[in-house]
Structures are given as C-alpha cells and as structure tokens.
Amino acid sequence: MTLQFSLAPSSPETVDTACVVVGVYEGGVLTSAAARIDGAAGGAIKQLVESGDVTGKGGSSAVLFAPAGVAARRVLVVGLGQQKAFDAARFQRVNGDAARALGRLPVDGAVSYLTEVDVPGRDAAWRVRTALLATDHAAYRYTATFKPREKSTQPELGRVAFAAGADAQAGLEQGLAIAEGVRFARELANLPPNICTPAYIARQAQDFAAAHADSVSCRVLDDVEMEQLGFGSLLAVGRGSANKPRLVALEYKGGAAGDKPYAFVGKGITFDTGGISLKPGAGMEEMKFDMGGAAGVLGGFVAAVKMGLKLNLVCVVPSAENMPDGDSYRPSDVLTSLSGLTIEVLNTDAEGRLILCDALTWTAQTFQPQAIVDAATLTGACVIALGKHATGLMSKHDDLAAELLAAGETTLDRAWRLPLWDDYQTQLESGFADVANIGGKSAGAITAGCFLSRFTEGQRWAHLDIAGTAWDEGRKGLATGRPVALLAQWLLDRVEH
Ligand code: BES
Ligand code: MN
Ligand code: ZN
C-alpha cells in the first residue's frame, strides 16, 4: 500500500486522527506539541516521564491511549535524544523511528508534529520533505516475490499528515516526487535477476515513458543495433548470458528546446558472477544489486519528471548480465570500445566500467549534455574506503563535485570525494591495448574512476561509486534507494539558482 501524505494544521490536541505523534527530548524535555497535549490531557505525558515510561532517548517510544482532553485516539510519544545534539541526521532518524512505531499500531492514519521541531540550519519545507521521505522509506515493504497474503483485518497505516504551514507546501510536493523515485529504484533493485533482466529494465523505462508521453520519450538499443554501432566493450560483457544486453535512453523535456540536457548514466549489471574471473560463492547473491546505479539514475529521473523540473534531462542505462559461458569474454581479450580506444581485459569481474565506457561515449555523442553524472556499484575498494555511509564521488571538475557534495549534505544522501589525479592513470597502462580494465591492488575505486575518465574527455562529468550505499547488507538487506535523493536535489539546485 502506498502511503498518502499531506500537511496538517498546528493543533495537536484538537486534530481528528487515529494517532498524533509528538517528540520528547532526553531528560523529559517536552517539545511544544508535546506540551500542548500534556496541558490538554492533565499532565499525562509528564506523568509518563516521571514513571520512566517516557525517557526521550533516541529510538524509544510510548503510546498514550485515549487520553482525556485530546481529540486523537492515541498519542505516540517519540524519543528525540539530547536536545543539544539534535540535528538534521537525528531528525531524519526519529521520523523513521516514528514511522516504524506507527506501523506496529492498529492505526489507519496519523498526524505528526515532529515537523515542528527546530532543526539547525533547515527550514520547514526541508523538515516536511525529509520527514516524508524518512516515513515512506521506513514504511516500504518488498512483496513482489512472496505468495500474495490475505488482506489483514487490522487497520494499516495509509495516511500521514505533517504539521506545517503553507511555506512547507513545496517541501511536501518535492518529497512526494522524490519518494516516488526512491520507491521506483528500490523496487527495481530488489527484484531477483531472473525477473530483472536487461530487457525487463528496458520495459520498465518504456512503461514510464508511455505513462508520461507529454514530456518523456524512451529509446532502447538491443544487441544487434549496438553491434552495428560499435559497442564492442559493452557487448563483450553480456556475451556469456542468455539475457542479452540493452541500452536504455530516457529523455525528459522540461526546459527550453535549445537547452543542453543534464545526463545520468547508471550501471545496470543485472547479475555479476564475475564471469570467467568468477567470484567466490559466499555472498554472490548480493550481486543482484549490481544494477543499483541503473535503479538510482532511473529513480532520479522519475523524481525529476514528477517534480516537473524546468530543465532537460537524459537517463542512459547500459544493462547486461556478467556470466561465465563458452562464449564469454575472457582475461587477455582486447576489446574495441565505441570510442575507438582498445581495452585489454585483465579481469572479467571489472565489467561495470566496460559497459559504462561505451554508454558514456554514446551519451556524450548523442546528447552533448551540459553535465554527466554516472552512478555505479563499481568497486569493492570503495566499500573498504568509505563503508556504507558515504558514496564515493570522483570528478575532475571542482564546481560539479561541489554541487554534488552539497546536494548530498542537503538530503543526507552524502558523498565524499576521492581524487582523480593523473598520477593514478599509469596504473591502467597495458602492453597490448590503449588501456587495461584494472589498475592493480591499490586505490581500486580511484583507478576505476580513472578508467571512466578516459572516455569522458571534454565532458563535464562526475562519477558516483555507490557500491557501499546502494543496499543494506545481510540476508534481508534491501535496496536503499540511494543516490536518488542526491541526484534529485542536484537537479533541483540547478533550476532554483
Ligand atoms: N560489482 C562489483 C563491485 C562490488 C563488489 C560492489 C562488492 C559491491 C560489493 C564489480 O563489478 C567488481 O567486481 N569489481 C571488482 C573490480 C576488480 C576486479 C578490479 C572488485 O571490486 O573486486
Ligand atoms: Mn564485477
Ligand atoms: Zn559489477
């Protein structure tokens, strides 16, 4: 069930809802909404503080049922942690906590006053947008490949309103659009590779374009067309699979006809076995998320279209499956890329860069974009360097890098920059081709970025390595929807300035 979101008036004690949500800081300091409820209900919250039922600790919550003097049936009291430490990240976290607590209650709707809480450096529109996204993220359930369940007779959370004035309306609208992009990305990335094939991704893009035909068009190249055009690198990666490669290009026209488009490019490896350079078995199932870059840029595209941004945007997804087979490409093969540069394959598991290089060349040639941002689950080395909190950002363009870092800070979908100095380029030298596809043991995330840089010369280009941020690890780990919010914010900042 998709949640419905709206804005609510600022009167927690009289609002008619199944559940009102208010915050309490650690040490029992009430927020103003909590104080109003407390006043109307004869000190009911303070009593809970005194009894120790409400601590205000982050991650804690308590429910007041049918308090006298309050119109709502329930009051959910959410712990905000220490008031002096309360910041944007805490705000995002407590809104997720609240959504999870609401999900466990038999309520069909709620009105949250957490959006009235002061967050240093952030306005009401940001608070509503961030609360909406955190709520929708927490409420997301993956159901696509389970046996359909009978409908529960218990009420389920279907509506959440956030207390805010009209000045937060833009935040609500942006939040709705970005949430749709995030859900699109998560749903696509969570699907298993026997369903989510290159052809399936292409079909999803075509369906989206058909549903937004006034402003969006879609072009799909199959393996035969790519062969004619010279996508020698991309096609080599897909050769071992029965699921043939595709190149998907979505175009959104929201700006003036002559405006150069922004371009997204996303790695769409629907499953990465490593190919002939086969990966070990343990954890290989996580490589179904190797199309997380594709999902992320498609989600960013969805968000941009839903926001109706006044700019032009293209989203290009090269997609293939990396499998071992009698017809697979092999280490020592020399490929001729679309750019004409030849590539010596030293490891068939460094396949992401091989599909991206042709897609980057084609994107630059076809659209002459004003900037290109690619997203890719590109290297295990990036996970070692930055872990699961920061996306790796690489660019030779300081202004573009700064824009993307700023968008990450705004949305808390954060990136951290790694250098792309020419010093690293020597690691890619080959005795048999213009470039090798791996750069040795050290600086693996950077040498992957360096490889891509060879195919983006003259372009204003940045690379996002999302290997650590695109999904949560573990047996039940889901796609995170990153970097949809970062990409959407980056575009928003381009039209608002
Ligand atoms: N898809 C992987 C990168 C990856 C690994 C993402 C682990 C998330 C978690 C990529 O195709 C890959 O296999 N990269 C190799 C490159 C190496 C052969 C130079 C890697 O990181 O080991
Ligand atoms: Mn690989
Ligand atoms: Zn891969």
Phi then psi for residue 335, to 5 deg, are -105, 150
Q: What pLDDT, on the 0 to 100 scale, is given for residue 93?
A: 98
pLDDT band for 497, please (50, 70, 90 cuts).
Answer: low
- Is residue 36 annotated as part of the catalytic site, yes or no? no
User: How is 445-491 classified by DSSP, letter by letter?
Assistant: HHHHHHHHHTT-TTS-EEEEE-TTTSB--STT--B--TTHHHHHHHH
Q: What is the pLDDT of residues 248-299, one digit of tens each?
A: 999 999 999 999 999 999 999 999 999 999 999 999 999 999 999 999 999 9
Q: Tell me the CB-side half-sphere exposure of residue 319, using CA atoms within 13 A.
A: 35
Q: Tell me the CB-side half-sphere exposure of residue 23, using CA atoms within 13 A.
A: 29
- Name every residue whose Cβ is closer than 8 Å to that of residue 472 and which is 6 or more positions away in sequence: 388, 478, 480
Q: What is the pLDDT of residues 295-304, one digit of tens each?
A: 999 999 999 9
Contact of 380 with 451, CB cutoff 8 Å: no
265 or 497, higher pLDDT: 265
Element (H, E) at 398: helix 398-411
The pLDDT of 127-136, averaged and rounded, is: 98
**For the chain, what is the mean pLDDT?**
98
Domains and CATH numbers, the chain: 4-165 (3.40.220.10), 175-496 (3.40.630.10)
Question: Two tokens at 299?
Answer: 């989600």
Q: What pLDDT, on the 0 to 100 scale, is given for residue 10?
A: 80
- Nearest Cα neighbor of 267 from 450, 464, 446 is 464
Q: What's the gap in Å between 284 CA and the centre of ligand 2?
A: 10
Instruction: Take atom 6 of ligand 1 and give the residue whose Cα is closest.
Output: 467
SS3 readout for 435-450: EECCCCCCCHHHHHHH
Q: What is the pTM of this model?
A: 0.98
Instruction: Take atom 22 of ligand 1 and give the residue whose Cα is closest.
Output: 380
Give the span between the Cα atoms of 336 and 322, in whole angstroms.
18
Which residues lie at CB < 5 A from ion ligand 3?
269, 272, 290, 352
Q: What pLDDT, on the 0 to 100 scale, is given for residue 19?
A: 98
Burial category of 29 from C-beta neighbours within 10 Å (exposed 0-12, middle 13-18, buried 19 and up): middle
> What atom of ligand 1 comes closest to residue 279's alpha carbon?
13
Burial category of 458 from C-beta neighbours within 10 Å (exposed 0-12, middle 13-18, buried 19 and up): exposed
Q: What is the pLDDT of residues 304-363, one digit of tens each?
A: 999 999 999 999 999 999 999 999 999 999 999 999 999 999 999 999 999 999 999 999
- Nearest Cα neighbor of 171 from 128, 120, 137 is 128
The pLDDT of 460-476, averaged and rounded, is: 98
**In a mutational test of the pocket of ligand 1, which residue from 288, 321, 349 has the highest number of ligand atoms less than 8 Å from its CB?**
349
- Is residue 353 annotated as part of the catalytic site, yes or no? yes
Going through 128-225 in order, the beta strands assigned E by DSSP cover 159-163, 216-222
Q: What is the pLDDT of residues 369-409, one digit of tens each?
A: 999 999 999 999 999 999 999 999 999 999 999 999 999 99
Using the structure block, give the residue that is written with the tokens 């905000």: 80
The pLDDT of 107-129, averaged and rounded, is: 98
Instruction: Take atom 9 of ligand 1 and give the residue whose Cα is closest.
Output: 380
Q: What is the pLDDT of residues 231-241, one digit of tens each?
A: 999 999 999 99
Q: Which ligand is nearest to the CA of 441?
A: 1
Q: What's the gap in Å between 288 CA and the centre of ligand 2?
A: 11
**In a mutational test of the pocket of ligand 1, which residue from 379, 383, 384, 463 has the highest number of ligand atoms less than 8 Å from its CB?**
379
Give the span between the Cα atoms of 277 and 227, in whole angstroms.
24
Q: What is the pLDDT of residues 151-210, one digit of tens each?
A: 888 999 999 999 999 999 999 999 999 999 999 999 999 999 999 999 999 999 999 999
Look at residue 1 and tell me whether its pLDDT is greater than 80: no
Q: What is the pLDDT of residues 415-447, one digit of tens each?
A: 999 999 999 999 999 999 999 999 999 999 999
Question: Two tokens at 467?
Answer: 């290997």
Burial category of 191 from C-beta neighbours within 10 Å (exposed 0-12, middle 13-18, buried 19 and up): buried
